[in-house]
């Protein structure tokens, strides 16, 4: 009988040893991940997970012309056309439940091309759509307009559905329209989209070669912020220029948010928040709700869950753990990070954070929802204080220099 060479035996033993080692490491990592996931599930049962921005309503308009009788939101849309073939689709009720999402700000969006035309009408139609969608699923969803309402819906197991207006052009340079949107349930206004308004500069003017339209907020722009404080409406600074951020922070008596932005120091997109603004935001009491779009996360077409974690950690380091939240921007983008493919994946993000000793369960609870609830309650407190002081609605008397003007920015990329 031919004897096997000793080197062959050693080689086989080596292969077996490394295979066993890899298997043991993989098993240990899987166990550790599951342990962290259990902690996350426990936290999210106690604290509502709140996402600051989702563009599903515009996709319903785009795909179904707002005809909800054809929209099967309670089913897995990955199996239903046109959603199954679209890179822009990441949301349905099943996956929201799997992702343990307790509250969602739905975007009432009108494109910049509608400015000075039918932006007000389009926004009203999108608000109507959100309200009708919630009414179709009363056992799963509830329209919410207060911070307490978020917590009440979480206790009842329903998805708290809130309305955010994405773009100051939607108010048609009218404080009366702003007030009407509030009465219809809108609880934040993004001061610009990726186009200037006659009263505020968008983020595009911060890019090389661009010229500011105003240089921040005009006088009427400060009146918009002041009236939002009086109403109890959250000021959202995603999409605005840095001077507009600073003007809004100087004007607002209440905390502000960035509903879907990330850290400029990591990715120098004009859509992200620079460190000096993060420091001002900390003093203001507001927060940045971190976006997942790869172009805002890695400044490229590809990103990972760990890249998003880097933005969360940076904002925490600069502004503090009380000033960071989640605003993924699903359904408004056609690219998503690896590991965060849709709304079912939020728990994996929190589990990744828990792998670091830097993050405790209480920190995760703040990131998930406590920070936004605190901001919302403080906005409501400022409203109550102004009401007690006898502050009246601001008159619709606009200086001519504030109503004349046109948007210089046009944008046809992702909506988020």
**What residue has token string 């595009």?**
204
Count: domains in the chain:
1
Alpha helix ranges (H) inside 47-118: 56-64, 93-98
Give DSSP secondary structure letters for 183-219.
HTTEEEEES-BSB-BTTB-BGGGGSTT---SSSSB-H
Give me 173's structure tokens.
């340079």
Per-chain mean pLDDT for the chain: 92
Is residue 408 domain-resident?
Answer: no
Is residue 294 domain-resident?
Answer: yes
Is residue 12 domain-resident?
Answer: no
Would you say 188 and 359 are in contact if contact means Cβ atoms under 8 Å apart?
no
Percentage of the chain with pLDDT > 90?
86
| Closest to 108 in 3D by CA, of 53, 183, 48 | 53
The reply to whether omega before 140 is within 30° of 0 (cis) is no
> Does pLDDT of 288 surpass 80?
yes
> Does pLDDT of 2 surpass 70?
no
Q: What pLDDT was estimated at residue 304?
A: 98
Would you say 178 and 230 are in contact if contact means Cβ atoms under 8 Å apart?
no
> Does pLDDT of 98 surpass 70?
yes
Chain CA centroid to CA 319, Å: 18
Q: What pLDDT was estimated at residue 329?
A: 98
Q: How far is CA 407 from CA 53, 181, 199, 376, in A?
A: 24, 22, 10, 31
**CB-based contacts of 42: which residues, under 8 Å, 6+ apart?**
361
- Range of lowest pLDDT (1-5, 149-153, 254-258, 383-387): 1-5
Is residue 278 domain-resident?
Answer: yes
> Does pLDDT of 72 surpass 70?
yes
- Range of lowest pLDDT (248-252, 370-374, 382-386, 407-411): 407-411
| CA–CA distance, 404 with 252 (Å, rounded to integer) | 24
> Does pLDDT of 5 surpass 60?
no
Q: How much is the average pLDDT of 226-230?
A: 98
Give me 176's structure tokens.
């009366």
> Does pLDDT of 15 surpass 90?
no
Q: How much is the average pLDDT of 220-249?
A: 98
Q: How much is the average pLDDT of 147-169?
A: 98
- Range of lowest pLDDT (39-48, 288-297, 362-371, 407-416): 407-416
Q: What pLDDT was estimated at residue 357?
A: 86
> DSSP assignment, residue 47?
S
Q: What is the sign, positive or negative, of the torsion defined by CA atoms of 246, 250, 251, 254?
A: positive
| CA–CA distance, 5 with 308 (Å, rounded to integer) | 52
Q: What pLDDT was estimated at residue 345?
A: 98
pTM: 0.90
> Does pLDDT of 1 surpass 90?
no
Is residue 214 domain-resident?
Answer: yes
Is residue 99 domain-resident?
Answer: yes
State the pLDDT confidence band at 414, using cuts at 50, 70 and 90: low
| Closest to 170 in 3D by CA, of 129, 202, 130, 123 | 123
Q: What pLDDT was estimated at residue 395?
A: 83
How many Cα atoms are found within 13 Å in the side-chain-facing hemisphere of 263? 21
**How do strand 186-190 and strand 159-166 relate by DSSP bridges?**
parallel
pLDDT tens by residue, 305-358: 999 999 999 999 999 999 999 999 999 999 999 999 999 999 999 999 999 889
Would you say 164 and 236 are in contact if contact means Cβ atoms under 8 Å apart?
yes
Domain that holds residue 328: 58-399
Q: What pLDDT was estimated at residue 412?
A: 43
| Closest to 350 in 3D by CA, of 24, 75, 29, 41 | 41
**CB-based contacts of 302: which residues, under 8 Å, 6+ apart?**
294, 335, 338
Chain CA centroid to CA 184, Å: 21
State the pLDDT confidence band at 411, using cuts at 50, 70 and 90: very low
| CA–CA distance, 201 with 214 (Å, rounded to integer) | 6
Domain holding 233: CATH number? 3.20.20.140
Is residue 209 domain-resident?
Answer: yes
Would you say 326 and 369 are in contact if contact means Cβ atoms under 8 Å apart?
no
| Closest to 288 in 3D by CA, of 278, 298, 280 | 278
**Phi and psi torsions of 53, nearest 5°:** -165, 125
Q: What pLDDT was estimated at residue 24?
A: 45
| CA–CA distance, 93 with 111 (Å, rounded to integer) | 26
Q: How much is the average pLDDT of 284-305?
A: 98
């Amino acid at each position: 009988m031919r004897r096997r060479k000793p080197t062959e035996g050693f080689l086989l033993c080596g292969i077996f040893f490394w295979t066993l080692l890899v298997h043991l490491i993989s098993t240990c990592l899987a166990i550790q991940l599951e342990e962290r996931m259990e902690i996350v599930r426990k936290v999210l049962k106690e604290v509502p997970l709140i996402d600051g921005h989702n563009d599903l309503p515009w996709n319903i308009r785009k795909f179904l012309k707002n005809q909800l009788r054809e929209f099967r939101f309670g089913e897995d849309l990955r199996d239903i056309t046109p959603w199954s073939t679209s890179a822009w689709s990441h949301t349905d009720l099943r996956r929201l439940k799997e992702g343990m999402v307790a509250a969602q700000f739905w975007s009432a969006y009108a494109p910049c091309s509608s400015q000075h035309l039918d932006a007000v009408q389009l926004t009203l139609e999108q608000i109507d759509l959100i309200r009708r969608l919630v009414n179709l699923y009363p056992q799963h969803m509830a329209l919410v307009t207060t911070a307490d309402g978020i917590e009440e819906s979480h206790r009842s197991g329903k998805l708290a559905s809130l309305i955010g207006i994405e773009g100051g052009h939607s108010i048609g340079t009218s404080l009366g329209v702003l007030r009407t949107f509030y009465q219809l349930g809108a609880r934040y206004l993004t001061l610009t989209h990726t186009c200037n308004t006659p009263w505020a500069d968008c983020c595009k003017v911060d890019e090389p070669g661009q010229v500011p339209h105003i240089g921040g907020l005009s006088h009427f722009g400060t009146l918009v912020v002041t009236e939002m404080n009086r109403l109890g409406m959250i000021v959202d600074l995603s999409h605005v220029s840095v001077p507009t951020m600073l003007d809004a922070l100087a004007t607002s008596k209440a905390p502000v948010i960035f509903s879907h932005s990330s850290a400029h120091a990591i990715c120098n997109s004009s859509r992200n928040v620079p460190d000096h603004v993060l420091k001002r935001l900390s003093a203001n009491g507001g927060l940045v709700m971190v976006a997942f779009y790869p172009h805002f996360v890695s400044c490229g077409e590809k990103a990972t869950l760990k890249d998003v974690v880097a933005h969360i950690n940076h904002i925490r380091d600069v502004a503090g753990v009380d000033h960071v939240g989640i605003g993924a921007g699903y359904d408004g983008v056609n690219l998503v990070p690896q590991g965060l493919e849709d709304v079912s994946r939020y728990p994996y993000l929190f589990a990744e954070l828990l792998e670091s000793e830097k993050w405790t369960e209480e920190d995760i609870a703040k990131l998930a929802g406590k920070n936004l609830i605190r901001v919302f309650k403080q906005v409501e407190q400022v409203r109550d204080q102004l009401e007690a002081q006898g502050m009246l609605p601001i008159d619709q008397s606009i200086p001519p220099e504030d109503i004349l003007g046109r948007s210089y920015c046009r944008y046809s990329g992702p909506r988020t």
